[in-house]
Amino acid sequence: MEFGLRRNNFFYKIIRIIGQVCFPFIYRLKVEGQEKIPLKGPGIILPKHQFWTDIPLAALAVPRPLSFIAKQELFLYPVIRHFLTALGGVPVDRQKPLKSLDSFRYVEQLLQKGDFIVLFPEGTYYPHSVGEGKHRFIQRILRFEEKMGWNENQKIPFIPVGICYREKKFRTEVKVKIGQPIYSYGKMDGQEFTRRIINDIATLSGLIKTGGTESRIQA
């Protein structure tokens, strides 16, 4: 990644406005829980991941500029790389985590500045079901927070977000539910913390796990 190039907040705002104008022609978007988003300070947004449209929907649902953790493969071509980076994209190599150290250091800088980061904890698409969750990046954020020694008033909120696509037709209704922030205290285990996040995401999305399978409930 070209770390001299940062998110362009003006460009981000313009693209978000375009999305606000265009998306109502495709989706009937309903957002619940925006009041749970802190107005300042760092945060981690953790949405359900079913389709590529979850990305712009998250941007429309959260009234703050966001930076998105995304797979390295999306950044292979220069024009696309510059476009995604200007919108806040941060590449990670899922196969070779060591190659993502620069990206993580950049995320640390963003959190220290008080930015909001979007991380899809399932790691890939799970349409109408729930993935187990990938804990490595969350674990690194927990260790970073521990290293910073931030007090309770400075804790990073991990905010689960449910996304429920209700119908498969023209102007599909999509409900985005923003959950209660989750905070870490003491030396948290990344896997356990991720499981809690995934459980909250499943509930917010109207999905529950029963006996290792997934089923849908009314959201």
Each residue's pLDDT expressed in tens, for the chain with a length of 219 residues: 444 457 889 999 999 999 999 999 989 999 999 999 998 889 999 999 999 999 999 999 999 999 999 888 888 888 888 898 899 999 887 666 666 777 888 899 999 999 999 999 998 889 888 898 888 889 999 988 888 877 667 789 999 999 999 876 778 899 999 999 999 887 778 899 999 999 999 999 998 654 344 444 443
Among residues 112, 52, 60, 59, the alpha carbon closest in space to that of 88 is found at: 59
Q: What is the residue extent of each domain of the chain?
A: 9-216
Residue type, 40: K
CB-based burial of residue 136 (10 Å sphere; 0-12 exposed, 13-18 middle, 19+ buried)?
middle
Residue 67 is predicted with a pLDDT of 94
Q: Which CATH superfamily is domain 9-216 in?
A: Glycerol-3-phosphate (1)-acyltransferase (3.40.1130.10)
Residue 213 is predicted with a pLDDT of 41
Spatial CB neighbours of 121, under 8 Å, sequence gap ≥ 6 = 46, 131, 133, 134, 135, 138, 194, 197, 198, 201
Residue 101 is predicted with a pLDDT of 79
